[in-house]
Structure 1
């Protein structure tokens, strides 16, 4: 038997594989057969330690069992609940509940550890003990069609919300802190945390349905891109164009009409797959508000949405005087959005606040290549006079773009 050495690294591993390949390609006996056995054992030990075989995903395990037992999707209904749920589970749109896992494990013999996976279970018993399900605005959610059900009266609030939770990615899709009033710097103190949570879950669920043309990467958004978005405001379909441009960067933009007592304009967060999402409520259907809010949330995606647990909820009517917390993040988002919409040096030179006539507003908007609504909105905000230039702010000109597409 030749000098057999331990396998300590990938170079040793490659050499051992080559030696085994040689031995297996030639007749061996005696010491060479012993060497083959030893080399094979050493390779197996090294592979077990350095190249472990991952467990199949829950969907792969179910599909394998279906193929093995010649089962159709209809055969899974007793374990998952309905044909629609089976289809959603197999397509990845619906995550498995503990009840489903127990049934699949007991009746089809699929190992529970495979069905659980890493983050695939919505454990409504263990993860939601502090959740008051009756606090969710169930009637309004049903009215809007945000909850999927055909037997409304027969289901509890928890059961109704379970579907939306699963579509959004599970209990950890939106931080649990949203169930309680917290210290988010741009969050209205009168906000209903359950209404806000429902809105965020719906936004995440819709975002996960989108097939974006690109994957987001750091640096995809910068000040030049924000400025490009601002120039799209000139176009009749500018809001749509901006959403498409963000999609090309791997960012999903979702419109969801604000729920009562949410008091928010926009939000920035991530799906469980780490896709950045900008949610817009369009509670003020004006062009000036839309463009500032969109760019403000885009800055959050660019500069602040670094960790999977980061999220930003924004009531843009609030300013630092409404909170005692650190305002630096919101201030940065405000300043960078404002700079992209109207460069500071040009705004200072124009001196519009002293005399903001319709002609001067239109001329200045053309000179900085943005819609007059953006200029009028800034004049109104900085003067505090919201009766000024109301004909320019584009009232009732935004929501129609999103409702046509929905």
Structure 2
């Protein structure tokens, strides 16, 4: 038997392969020294190649698709493993993570290794490598309860920040795919010249989806429900002292989530709207300006996006309503929001000089006088108008 050594380099590997070819040409007899040498070299080559050229286990989604093709399965056949047809589509499209329950059922029913199913999908893994984990405002996120169930200190959170942020981002379908680099292609963003903290905005979006996910709505949203007449009916709920709560109930009864989630620093958000995984619209308000008139205008603006623009081609509409003007889309939403609260051509701010005239005009429309006063202040650019009157806070309602 020739001198055999551990294979530690590509040169050693080539020499071992050459020696194997030589031995095979001789066709050594079983139990001979040459046969033993051949077996030993084959073992050493295999071990070296396992370490030098590792073969990744398959992507979990690709493994599921391969098994479907192998067994002639269609999406409908996977419903027992996922729970619903929509979940099957979301998982296969990479927009929903596999739950532990799904993994158990797939492993038992289709014979796919749990080790493969637990693995992070390739697309998510690629996104994960590009994330600046230190850019998340974890101190603020912790204080707001973003890391549900975490009871440790901020130092402990920092120690496990990537793990906790991974859990947070994957707590909702699409959470990972709201990455800031993708924002301009997946969202319509209305902002001013201030630089937005894109990681704070990402965290806020995931938190909104978390809250929506916890709400069970009585019905599915029917496309076309939100229109000008529907919005006017909603506006008349503002006359009640319980207007904001009634608005939430009204939206929920029509298959629309209303989420109240304070803005994170450097996001400059008043509101947003998107479609969640269930197919229901989500209206999110930050109450950044904690006034009743701001609440109603922000709410109507986001609903206007549902009525006019939200058709599935963009994931989110994100709005800083302090940003004047905006593009055509934002101007359309502003116009419909204003008309829903106070009909166009029916309002003259110069006639609203005192609280009495404000109340009388609001009564004629069956809307809150705060809305009328807010419109007067905005049009006259005089935010001191009417003093302390008509400055009701809305946060008390939620």
User: Which TM-score applies when normalising by structure 1?
Assistant: 0.68
Matched, 1:96 2:98: yes
Structure 2 partner of 1:369: 366
1:103: Cα distance to partner?
Answer: 9.6
Give the RMSD, CA atoms, in angstroms: 3.6
Residues 1:301 and 1:113: Cα distance change in structure 2 (over 3 Å):
farther
Distance 2:334 2:218 in 1: 28
1:260: Cα distance to partner?
Answer: 1.1
1:229: Cα distance to partner?
Answer: 1.1
1:190 to 174, 186, 195: 195
1:54 to 77, 81, 101: 77
1:358 to 348, 355, 358: 355
Structure 2 partner of 1:287: 292
1:362: Cα distance to partner?
Answer: 1.0
Helix, strand or coil at the partner of 2:129:
coil
Structure 1 partner of 2:303: 298
1:210 to 211, 215, 219: 215
Distance 1:269 1:138 in 2: 24
Structure 2 partner of 1:127: 127
Structure 2 partner of 1:276: 281
1:265: Cα distance to partner?
Answer: 0.4
Larger gyration radius, structure 1 or structure 2: 2
1:401: Cα distance to partner?
Answer: 1.1
CA contact (8 A) 1:146 1:202 kept: yes
Helix, strand or coil at the partner of 1:200:
helix
Distance 2:131 2:248 in 1: 34
Structure 2 partner of 1:378: 375
Structure 2 partner of 1:90: none
Of stretches 189-198 and 204-213 in structure 1, the one that deviates more from structure 2 is: 189-198
Structure 2 partner of 1:257: 262
1:110: Cα distance to partner?
Answer: 4.6
Helix, strand or coil at the partner of 1:331:
helix
Counterparts of 1:5-404 in structure 2, within 5 Å, are 54-56=77-79, 58-59=81-82, 95-96=97-98, 110-111=111-112, 124-148=124-148, 149-151=150-152, 153=156, 155-171=159-175, 174=178, 176-177=180-181, 184-188=188-192, 189-307=194-312, 309-320=314-325, 327-347=327-347, 351-395=348-392, 397-402=393-398
Distance 2:143 2:111 in 1: 38
1:116: Cα distance to partner?
Answer: 5.9
Distance 2:271 2:380 in 1: 24
Residues 1:183 and 1:54: Cα distance change in structure 2 (over 3 Å):
closer
CA contact (8 A) 1:122 1:170 kept: no
Deviations 1:271-296 (A, max 9, x none): 12322101110011100000000010
User: Which TM-score applies when normalising by structure 2?
Assistant: 0.69
- 5+ residue gaps in structure 2? 1-70, 85-95
Structure 1 partner of 2:18: none
1:309: Cα distance to partner?
Answer: 3.5
Helix, strand or coil at the partner of 2:345:
helix
